[in-house]
Chain A
Amino acid sequence: MKHLLSTHDLSREDAVRILDTAEQMAAVGTREIKKLPALRGRTVVNLFYEDSTRTRISFEAAAKRLSADVINFAAKGSSVSKGESLKDTAQTLEAIGADAVVLRHWASGAPARLAATDWINAAVVNAGDGTHEHPTQALLDAFTLRRHWSRVRGIESTGADLDGMRVVIVGDVLHSRVARSNLWLLRTLGAEVTLVAPPTLLPVGADAWPCAISFDLDETLSTGPDAVMMLRVQAERMNAAFFPSVAEYSRRWGFDDVRLAALDEHGFEHTAILHPGPMNRGFEISSGAADSKRALVLEQVANGVSVRMAVLYLLLSGDN
Chain B
Amino acid sequence: MTSTENHPEAFLIRGASLLGGDPEDFLLADGEIAAVGPDAAAHPRAAGAREIDAAGLIALPGMVDLHTHLREPGREDAETVETGTRAAARGGFTAVHAMANSNPVADTAGVVEQVWSLGRRSGWVDVRPVGAVTVGLAGERLSELGAMAESRAGVRVFSDDGICVSDPVLMRRALEYVKAFDGVIAQHAQEPRLTEGAQMNEGEVSAVLGLPGWPAVAEESIIARDVLLAEHVGSRLHVCHVSTAGSVDIIRWAKARGIAVTAEVTPHHLLLTEEQVRTYDPVYKVNPPLRREADVLALREALADGTIDIVGTDHAPHPDEAKECEWAQAAMGMTGLETALSVVQHTMIETGMMTWADFARVTSTIPAAIGRLADQGRPLAVGEPANVVLVDPAHRWTVDPGTMATMGRNSPFAGMELPGRVEATFYRGTPTVLDAELNTPRALGEQA
A8 at the interface (CB under 8 A from B): yes
Residues 315-351 of B at the A interface (beta carbon under 8 Å): 321, 324-329
Which residue in A113, A180, A209 is a CB contact (below 8 Å) of B210? A180
The answer on a CB contact under 8 Å between B280 and A116 is yes
CB distance from B121 to the nearest CB of A (A): 36
Residues 197-219 of B at the A interface (beta carbon under 8 Å): 199, 202-213, 215
Which residue in A8, A107, A110 is a CB contact (below 8 Å) of B208? A8
Quick one: closest B residue to A8, CB to CB?
A: B208
Contacts of A105 in B (CB 8 A): 326
B281 at the interface (CB under 8 A from A): yes
The answer on a CB contact under 8 Å between B279 and A180 is no
Which residue in B205, B281, B321, B326 is a CB contact (below 8 Å) of A107? B326
- Contacts between chains A and B (CB distance < 8 A), count: 77
Contacts of A180 in B (CB 8 A): 208, 210
Contacts of A112 in B (CB 8 A): 279-280
Q: How far is the CA of A112 from the CA of B211 in the complex (A)?
A: 13
The answer on a CB contact under 8 Å between B327 and A108 is yes
The answer on a CB contact under 8 Å between B207 and A203 is yes
The answer on a CB contact under 8 Å between A130 and B202 is no
The answer on a CB contact under 8 Å between A113 and B204 is no
A204 at the interface (CB under 8 A from B): yes
Q: How far is the CA of A203 from the CA of B206 in the complex (A)?
A: 8
The answer on a CB contact under 8 Å between B321 and A206 is no
Quick one: closest B residue to A112, CB to CB?
A: B280
A205 at the interface (CB under 8 A from B): yes
The answer on a CB contact under 8 Å between A85 and B324 is yes
A97 at the interface (CB under 8 A from B): no
CB distance from B204 to the nearest CB of A (A): 4
The answer on a CB contact under 8 Å between B207 and A113 is no
Contacts of A86 in B (CB 8 A): 325-326, 329
Contacts of A107 in B (CB 8 A): 326-329
Contacts of A116 in B (CB 8 A): 279-281
Contacts of A87 in B (CB 8 A): 324-325
A131 at the interface (CB under 8 A from B): yes
Contacts of A130 in B (CB 8 A): 210-211, 328
Q: How far is the CA of A204 from the CA of B279 in the complex (A)?
A: 20
- Given A113-B326, A113-B327, verify A205-B280 contact (CB < 8 Å): no
A308 at the interface (CB under 8 A from B): no
**Interface size bracket, A side:** 20 to 34
Instruction: Type the 1/0 row for A196-238, where 1 means its CB is closer than 8 Å to any CB of B.
Output: 0000000111101100000000000000000000000000000
Q: Counting chain A CB atoms within 10 Å of each CB, which of B205, B206, B280 scores highest?
A: B280
The answer on a CB contact under 8 Å between B207 and A133 is no
A109 at the interface (CB under 8 A from B): yes
Residues 284-330 of B at the A interface (beta carbon under 8 Å): 321, 324-329
CB distance from A297 to the nearest CB of B (A): 24
The answer on a CB contact under 8 Å between B281 and A113 is yes
Which residue in A109, A110, A177, A206 is a CB contact (below 8 Å) of B207? A206
Instruction: Type the 1/0 row for A62-89, where 1 means its CB is closer than 8 Å to any CB of B.
Output: 0000000000000000000000011100
Q: Counting chain A CB atoms within 10 Å of each CB, which of B205, B321, B327 scores highest?
A: B327
Contacts of B329 in A (CB 8 A): 86, 107
The answer on a CB contact under 8 Å between A109 and B209 is yes
A146 at the interface (CB under 8 A from B): no
Which residue in B206, B279, B321, B327 is a CB contact (below 8 Å) of A205? B206
Contacts of A109 in B (CB 8 A): 209-211, 280, 326-328
Quick one: closest B residue to A183, CB to CB?
A: B208
The answer on a CB contact under 8 Å between B210 and A205 is no
A3 at the interface (CB under 8 A from B): no
CB distance from A319 to the nearest CB of B (A): 27
Contacts of A205 in B (CB 8 A): 202-208
CB distance from B347 to the nearest CB of A (A): 26
A56 at the interface (CB under 8 A from B): no
Contacts of A113 in B (CB 8 A): 280-281, 325-327
Contacts of B280 in A (CB 8 A): 108-110, 112-113, 116
- Given A113-B280, A116-B279, A204-B203, verify A177-B324 contact (CB < 8 Å): no
A148 at the interface (CB under 8 A from B): no
Contacts of B327 in A (CB 8 A): 107-110, 113
CB distance from B157 to the nearest CB of A (A): 34
Q: How far is the CA of A107 from the CA of B324 in the complex (A)?
A: 14
The answer on a CB contact under 8 Å between B207 and A85 is no
The answer on a CB contact under 8 Å between B324 and A132 is no
Contacts of B215 in A (CB 8 A): 204
CB distance from A103 to the nearest CB of B (A): 11
Q: How far is the CA of A204 from the CA of B209 in the complex (A)?
A: 12
The answer on a CB contact under 8 Å between A108 and B325 is no
The answer on a CB contact under 8 Å between A133 and B324 is no
Contacts of A208 in B (CB 8 A): 204, 207
CB distance from A44 to the nearest CB of B (A): 22
Quick one: closest B residue to A119, CB to CB?
A: B324
CB distance from A240 to the nearest CB of B (A): 9
Give 21 CB contacts A-B under 8 Å: A8-B208, A105-B326, A107-B327, A108-B280, A109-B209, A109-B210, A112-B279, A113-B325, A113-B326, A113-B327, A116-B280, A131-B211, A132-B209, A203-B206, A203-B213, A204-B207, A204-B215, A205-B206, A205-B208, A206-B207, A209-B207
What is the interface of chain A, defined by CB distance below 8 A to chain B? 8, 85-87, 105-110, 112-113, 116-117, 129-133, 177, 180, 203-206, 208-209
Q: Would you list the 10 A-B pairs with minimal beta carbon distance, nearest first?
A: A109-B280, A205-B207, A132-B210, A131-B210, A203-B207, A205-B204, A107-B326, A107-B328, A108-B210, A110-B326
